[in-house]
Amino acid sequence: MAEMRLIVGLGNPGAKYERTRHNVGWRVIDVLVSRYRLGAGRSERRAQTWDGFIRGQRVKMAKPLTFMNRSGECLRALMDYYEIPLDRLIVVHDDLDTPLGALRLRKAGGHGGQKGLRSIIQRLGGKDFARLRFGIGRPPGKMQPVDYVLRPFKGDDAIKADELAARAADAIEVWLSDGIELAMSRFNGDAPGQRVGRSKADLQAQLAICLRAHELAPSDHKALIKLIAIQKKLGRIEEAVAGHLKLASLYDTKGESSRANAERVKAVTIKPALVDIQRAIAEWHLSQDQPKKAAARYLILANYYRERDPAAALREVERALAINPQHPKALAYQRSLQPLLETE
């Protein structure tokens, strides 16, 4: 069976909270449920949940029913029951420090005062999970934040919120299919037509400077890191992937294999089709006496092949089983592939 991803939208239960700023996480879940026709869902472990497949990934979506400041209770119950690791979780929540109309995807981080996130971090015992901040902006005048977040959107703000919820759902789809790095490069910032930061011309000028700096000092990893960041902001994803691989080679020449492997992971997160690099990552973990991470990488590769080439997916599962013949997820995955192999 394909490994499950958990998508959680934060909010408060009850009709009076339904359209408030604090419940934008629920609104994004509603968009995905409607988009993929997942029905009414069901109640489990103090959450309303839906199961389905999005972009070829098996997902569970959840709205905690415990009120915002106790969101971690139901998340911990869901993740324990379904054995979902932190790196397969994304949490959608409102953010006062992000302007209305903007999204901010992050791979990890603190709670920033958001009570739902604080509860989740406390209950899960870690903060290394993805989150999608839905900008609601700061309260006007002397209004207290606690009052502001519990007010509904009105007028033009209500239209912007609906548009941003759809865009947030798009971002989650990209997170599922292409990984967090590509989702960040495409969606972090204001909605199209609302950008107030650097223009494309400014970024192009910065790109020229970074390219020149890299040409003058090709062994300077800092110059290359800056270049990759600008490439991502401009949507030059293939070049950014090549940059991560070049940076990996640079770290290899310096004997920094851990940093080299981390760059290869970034490259395949953006472009999973780099199957040789995926295998190289697995082999590196084996060389570092990290069999669990090696097996997990082979299963990630199997998931990439699953719909494209079930026989190839099975070969990757067999590589994971060669490391651990009793690996429960690999055994379950092997069984789940049989119907696909029989139809070929």
Catalytic residue among 22, 214, 244, 285: 22
3-state secondary structure the chain: CCCCEEEEECCCCCHHHCCEHHHHHHHHHHHHHHHCCCCCCEEECCEEEEEEEECCEEEEEEEECCCHHHHHHHHHHHHHHHCCCHHHEEEEEEECCCCCCEEEEECCCCCCCCHHHHHHHHHHCCCCCEEEEEECCCCCCCCCHHHHCCCECCHHHHHHHHHHHHHHHHHHHHHHHHCHHHHHHHHCEECCCCCCCCCHHHHHHHHHHHHHHHHHCCCCHHHHHHHHHHHHHCCCHHHHHHHHHHHHHHHHHCCCHHHHHHHHHHHHHHCCCCHHHHHHHHHHHHHCCCHHHHHHHHHHHHHHHCCCCHHHHHHHHHHHHHHCCCCHHHHHHHHHHHHHHHCC
Query: Is 221 a residue of the active site?
Result: no
CA 81/CA 218 separation, integer angstroms: 49
Instruction: Report the catalytic residues.
Output: 22
